Amino acid sequence: MVTIERLDKTISKIMCISRSDARRLIKIGKVFVNGEKMKAFDTKISESDEIVVDGEKLSLEKNVYIVMNKAAGIVCDDKSSAPYAIETLPKELKRKDLFCVGRLDKDTTGLLLITNDGEFSHSVISPKKHIEKRYRATLQNPITENDIAKAKQGITLKDGTKLLPSEMFAVTADNKTVDFVIFEGKYHQIKRMAGALDNKILSLHRYQIGELVLPKDLDFGEAKKVEKEQAFLVFEKAKNWQKD
């Protein structure tokens, strides 16, 4: 389906400016659609049109998918005084309709998806999907074989919540750097898993969701747009758990 939208609304959304600022750009002759200078704010445009504002071509893609390597100190909602992930995006990626897919804690780094595709986001965070997520953690104490066995059985948190079976394995000789593979996304889940094992997370980094791996060329705080097919790799490796 082709989306039809007002010119001023489209410019406002894509450029992250107010509707009045978008109208001002149109009024002073800075906006061209398909090579023609625009004067009417309510001109109807679609994804097939080419919009150029002050010499810069705008992307009219309906749905966009962005991968960020979230830095520590960045948050995934705009209700905090800390920097909001969307606001830290480079200018060329910003749009007013973007939001984070799920959340990473303020001090957790790594793979964060950003999109304007609500259906995609809902599917990723749905507890029914059981999408695989991989994290690398630094622990205060070494993990033990008993810890690994408990994870495979499904750890019971201190509040009595029984988790789905998961995986833990050490990646360093001291058994303190550990990969966690989980298939659900409960609040502070990995930190609470460590707590249930009388341990503590010192640092936490997410590097993979499904088959989507955090690109190695992204430094902390950097982001880039990916194709839909790449974003949808998150749905690979999902598990179908039988209900008790």
Task: Please give the positions annotated as active site.
Answer: 105
Q: Measured between alpha carbons, how far is 30 from 52 in angstroms, rounded to an integer? A: 8
Q: What's the one-letter identity of residue 181?
A: V
Q: Measured between alpha carbons, how far is 52 from 32 in angstroms, rounded to an integer? A: 5
For residue 110, give the H/E element and its range: strand 109-115
- The answer to whether the beta carbons of residues 23 and 41 sit under 8 Å apart is yes
- The answer to whether the beta carbons of residues 201 and 190 sit under 8 Å apart is yes
51-53 sheet: strands from edge to edge: 36-37, 31-33, 51-53, 56-57
Q: Measured between alpha carbons, how far is 165 from 160 in angstroms, rounded to an integer? A: 15
Q: Measured between alpha carbons, how far is 51 from 61 in angstroms, rounded to an integer? A: 12
Residue 154: how many CA atoms within 13 Å on its side-chain side? 10
At residue 4, what are phi and psi to the nearest 5 degrees? -110, 130
Helices (H) and strands (E) in the chain, counts: 6, 15
DSSP designation for 211: T
